[in-house]
Amino acid sequence: MSQRTAPGTDQGQDQGTVLLRGGEIHSPADPFATAMVVSHGRIAWVGSEGAADAFAATADETVDLAGALVTPAFTDAHVHTTSTGLTRTGLDLSGAATREAALEQVRAHAAARPRDPVLLGHGWDASRWPDTRPPSRTELDTATGGRPLYLSRIDVHSAAATTALLDLVPGVTARDGYDADAPLTRDAHHAVRAAAYGAVTPAQRAEAQRAALRHAASLGIGSVHECAGPDISGEDDLTDLLRLAETEPGPRVVGYWGERLTGPKDAERVRALGAVGAAGDLFVDGSLGSHTACLRESYADAPHTGAAYLDAADITTHVVVCTEAGLQAGFHAIGDAAVTAVVEGVRAASEKLGLARIRAARHRVEHAEMLTPETIAAFAELGLTASVQPLFDTLWGGDEGMYARRLGTERARTLNPFAALLRTGVPLAFGSDSPVTPLGPWAAVRAAAFHRTPGHGVSVRAAFAAHTRGGWRAVGRDDAGILVPGAPADYALWRTGALLVQAPDDRVARWSTDPRSGTPGLPDLSPGAELPVCLRTVVGGRTVFVRPNE
């Protein structure tokens, strides 16, 4: 890939009129396009190589794509930016195959960070360890030399902590979710997490946020939805991130604040933070891995049904306040009882305000894993967006996975029914919940297309749309996430192999690759196939990432 740039053009700024040619442009405006013109932050034209000659003389920059694929930039619809950055700059246990390996990483990290007031780590998953036992407090006290340590489980709904950190939280032993011999959950976990992250300095936070956004840009991600909240991060964390995104080149950041609203003053405070909604991780329940997702029937491996943090009446009030204030409402709901509570609460709000107003607000549900035909139909009726994470299925799905151990095989097979959601007309927005699963949009598209439960997968094309246009639609924008004239110039260049159309039904795949169908192709995402490599990411006409030596 080569380029000719007019004198004085700054790669970090809007580059005027740019002609890209000699590649593959993924656009419904012209499924056979090989060229594209970008002018002052928007797509101006998409078409054939021959027609591109007419723009060559007036373009401020011409990019020879050398066969590269150009697609809309991805949107990750559920991210925790600071935590993601801290795993990149700190202690990441997601690759630890045993408890002993995790403890060795803790020891090495503690030795390497002698001045940190609190050690932070993330990503352990005892369900994948041979003995399935989490690290004990005594083991962590020894590994850290008695220093404060916060170590969140991969789902971030429970954590292991050292005695020195617990000593910083008065009354923690009396809080719901405290256990002297097991990871912390519920209120005890929230209190300890607040103390741990409260020790992060503004400089550390900024370093982590920049690291996360740089990494996102390197993966072709042009927008992230930051799911902040009082039980996740502080107000300063959100406002600092939004300010950084406004002042430095990088992915767009859309902020959500997950706090329950009870009246107009609450809504004013959310808007003052810069958030577009009181949504994201507003917890109706917890997670399956930590046994805190709220179920109708008991867990298969625990004698209870999890935790309920909000009921239908709380949800109704929140949705009404948000709708009247012009804010999006949204909820974290994973278990079938939690999802049912959301549906009941939103439906009650629609009876107060009218269904049309509720649908127009495009309220969201994050994760939405344990669905039934009835709740799927209700999502479609109420206009709810399902903000889902396909890599959850890759990590924990299947008949031998963690979901099956928590729920039993039959219930586990109902999880993450992406095909049923699409068939019913429910809008999908894909994300990672990073650092729960890593940023990696092509891997997520593959996970949705090659679901571990037969019948739940969708075509690569549908999955790709959910990870590009779906994220924009989830924030009320129908004009973006697609390469057509007038759309924002958020796009990525990729090195990849031959393009094709992959669908669960082979008859559809054969039809779609017929030139008469006019269906633009995408990379081969079959399991084991090499994923595309991002060469450049552009946001609003500004280059925010270029792969070195390309």
Cα Dmax for the chain? 73
- Per-residue pLDDT at 4: 38
> Does residue 102 contact residue 140 with C-beta atoms inside 8 Å?
no
Range(s) of the chain covered by CATH 3.10.310.70:
81-199
Range(s) of the chain covered by CATH 2.30.40.10:
17-72+483-496+532-546
- The separation between CA 550 and the C-alpha centre of its own chain, rounded to angstroms, equals 28
- Per-residue pLDDT at 501: 76
- Per-residue pLDDT at 426: 98
Residues 167-178 have pLDDT tens digits of 999 999 999 999
- Per-residue pLDDT at 155: 85
Residue type present at position 8: G
Which uninterrupted H or E stretch holds 454? none
Three-class secondary structure of residue 491 per DSSP: strand
pLDDT averaged per 10 residues, the chain (length 550) = 37 73 95 95 95 92 96 98 89 93 95 91 91 94 95 89 94 92 90 88 92 98 97 91 97 98 97 97 96 98 97 98 98 98 98 98 98 98 98 96 97 98 98 96 98 96 97 97 97 94 53 53 94 98 92
Q: What are phi and psi of 372, to 5 degrees?
A: -120, 165
Any idea which fold 81-199 has?
Answer: Diaminopimelate Epimerase; Chain A, domain 1 (3.10.310)
Q: Could you identify the residue written with the tokens 């300010």?
A: 243
Q: Which residues, including other chains, have CB under 8 Å from residue 68's CB and lie 6 or more apart?
A: 1, 23, 24, 493, 494, 495, 535
Rounded CA-CA distance 457/435 in Å is 24
Any idea which fold 17-72+483-496+532-546 has?
Answer: Urease, subunit C; domain 1 (2.30.40)
> Does residue 538 contact residue 489 with C-beta atoms inside 8 Å?
yes
Residues 454-470 have pLDDT tens digits of 999 999 999 999 999 99
Pairing of strands 385-388, 364-367: parallel
Rounded CA-CA distance 37/92 in Å is 41
Question: CB-based burial of residue 61 (10 Å sphere; 0-12 exposed, 13-18 middle, 19+ buried)?
Answer: middle
> Does residue 414 contact residue 372 with C-beta atoms inside 8 Å?
yes
